[in-house]
Structure 1
Amino acid sequence: MSAAARRAALAAIGCDLVARDGGPGERRAAALMRRLEGREEEVLGLRDLPKVPAWARLPLAAQERVAQRAALASIADTLAHSIDGAWLGEHAHAAGEEAVDWAIGLAGKAPELDPVDGSELAGRGYALLRTTLSDPLRPLLAWAAADETPVPVDTASTCVALAMKGAA
């Protein structure tokens, strides 16, 4: 890859990251919230950009869908064997029926974590996404659940990879 092509690739990643965070007003508001919460302002360097995963470049709504699918993948066996219509309905309401059906199709193919309720689906999904990030990239994912349980990296990576295929 030529130097110009590398610069263009880095610029494309940077543009995607800036675009997904909204306009200047939203970025200023997010920076203010970080300061009020006592979190340091962390800045990515050019060396970090090639390591940014594809899901982190997606708009926030698409990122949430990937997080939900990753969480659903982590409970695929439980979903497939459940006869609790209300519990399945919670997940369908949170992520959509098509996403739950997709996850049920993964039964036996995805690592299994403890089940979560539909209201905890986003928290589980974002925990999985965060686990796949190296420390310098963690600021890309500001959302965190208060009671986030650590997840093994290989489990998280598998669930996120399945989610990216399923969201495509």
Structure 2
Amino acid sequence: MTSKWIPETDLLALRRLGKTCEELGELVAVLGRSICQGIDGVDPSSDESNIERMTKESADVMAQLLCNFKAFGLNRMLIDQRIADKSEKMAEWEAMFNPVSGKETLSKFDAASDAERLRSVGRGMSYNDLSEATWKHVILEIAMRLETGGYNPAIETTKDKAKHD
């Protein structure tokens, strides 16, 4: 009887998978430190704020994932749909959050608008045909939304425009 569990043997695939785990681990470490020290806390060994480290490590994860999309032939249409669906669920979940302290929540972006924006990027073309530059642009747009508190006229959607007119 042959085992269904056959380890990966392709050295390049192993390198990519290992690097993805490494980058995710670095991001998880920063997230854990942010829970313990606060988002605005400073790492005494590097003198960088947790938010700076989180930004850098998030970018590293995104870059590695972009490499994986191409290298492993991941279906970008399915990824986009999953991101949009998950963003909507996150928006619903965060809308239910009512902090006891009265302190503002961390979420300063409209996940539903991001979901709409992600869906609109691929309209009229196969998602597998989108360039890596387009994917980077979408990720940067979401990062800008996070940084600017959700609204940025440079990346507005129809819903955004209606909200701010």
TM-score by length of 1: 0.25
**Higher Rg of the two aligned structures:** 2
Higher relative contact order (CA 8 A, sep 6+): 1
